[in-house]
Structure 1
């Protein structure tokens, strides 16, 4: 029992250090913006005085690498990575490349043209899938994506 507790504590310390590193990276890159006098309005309609604009990292290779490495440490037993369009697409691509895993992305609804698909990329049927998201406020978009990948027979 003591060994399990020690392992758990060590994992917790690693997680805390990783979280601190990512937070510091986001702050240094200018991704975290505070506007207490003019709150941001999210797609959900929720308002907040703080916003984490992860798109800032698209042009910051060093910061992006830190975040991609952090995501990669949490892949676990995933066989395929996916995320909601559009914000998660680059993150899913970078992490899947680093981890050697196939990827997919999930639209909010099926296209009305072309092949009419909601999910693009890897075949998800029967595979253990991990959904990545770049920003979460209410979780609505990732929950909608989870519903879509379950309909495609992925295992979350």
Structure 2
């Protein structure tokens, strides 16, 4: 009897996120004020087994991308455990790299400052969960450059592939015809690696025999049609 082929990384990740309760369907309001039919909350990778499995997915995606980097950076707060877990998993696979993270508030005693861990040097890979508006990436880039290192790449779990928003001079929020990932790639010049994209989620839903899951394909497609980017 032949062994069924292993699903692609992105499809395996979508299934894992669903089983872990991290990817959910329903009605959720995003930071941009949009009513989304799905929600991805990486904070629910909340035990050792889930975090370890998540790190395996990150490591596999990072190594498959072929990106070069000298160290890992985790932006506070969600990026801190992600960076640590990914650093451990990469070392287990023979790719040991130093890592660092930042505090939201600078420490005024002990070693002081806002950066913790290895000194920021060389080409830095930023680890985060999702990229909504690119704000966290810009903050990380400023910290890394301020320390004399080079912000080189970002690895995220899910690329929502939807229009970013920006605030105008009058305070109004408007959609822009590019995603946060595209902004970071085109305007900031960083390489972006994602474990999965919204397209992968739609492909997963399209292949479901379970009507409980298949029912969400149409609303997710409608959301993609309204807010998605190429």
Q: Same fold (TM over 0.5)?
A: yes
Aligned positions, number: 135
- State how far apart, in whole Å, the 2-side matches of 1:35 and 1:135 are: 19
| Residue equivalent to 1:29 | 20
8 A contact 1:85–1:107 mirrored in 2: yes
| Residue equivalent to 1:153 | 148
- State how far apart, in whole Å, the 2-side matches of 1:89 and 1:144 are: 14
> Within 5 A, what are the aligned runs for 1:31-110?
31-36=22-27, 39-42=28-31, 46-49=33-36, 50-59=38-47, 61=49, 63-73=50-60, 74-75=62-63, 76-99=67-90, 100-108=96-104
- State how far apart, in whole Å, the 2-side matches of 1:22 and 1:146 are: 27
- State how far apart, in whole Å, the 2-side matches of 1:103 and 1:80 are: 6
SS of 1:146's partner is helix
The unaligned stretches of length 5 or more in structure 1 are: 1-13
Match of 2:134 among 129, 136, 139: 139
| Residue equivalent to 2:9 | 18
- State how far apart, in whole Å, the 2-side matches of 1:79 and 1:48 are: 39
Superposed displacement of residue 64, structure 1: 2.9
Greater helix share, structure number: 1
Superposed displacement of residue 46, structure 1: 4.1
SS of 1:104's partner is strand
- State how far apart, in whole Å, the 2-side matches of 1:102 and 1:22 are: 26
| Residue equivalent to 1:124 | 120
Per-residue Cα deviation, 1:29-87 (whole angstroms, up to 9, x for no partner): 11112332xx3343xx54442321112212261x4333211211305322210121110
Moved over 6 A (4+): none
Q: Structure 2 length normalisation: TM-score? A: 0.52
CA RMSD of the aligned region, Å? 2.4
Greater strand share, structure number: 2
8 A contact 1:29–1:60 mirrored in 2: no
Q: Structure 1 length normalisation: TM-score? A: 0.74
Query: Which stretch shifts more, 68-77 or 24-33?
Result: 68-77
The unaligned stretches of length 5 or more in structure 2 are: 1-5, 91-95, 153-230
Rg comparison, structure with higher value: 2
Per-residue Cα deviation, 1:109-128 (whole angstroms, up to 9, x for no partner): x5163244222111113x12
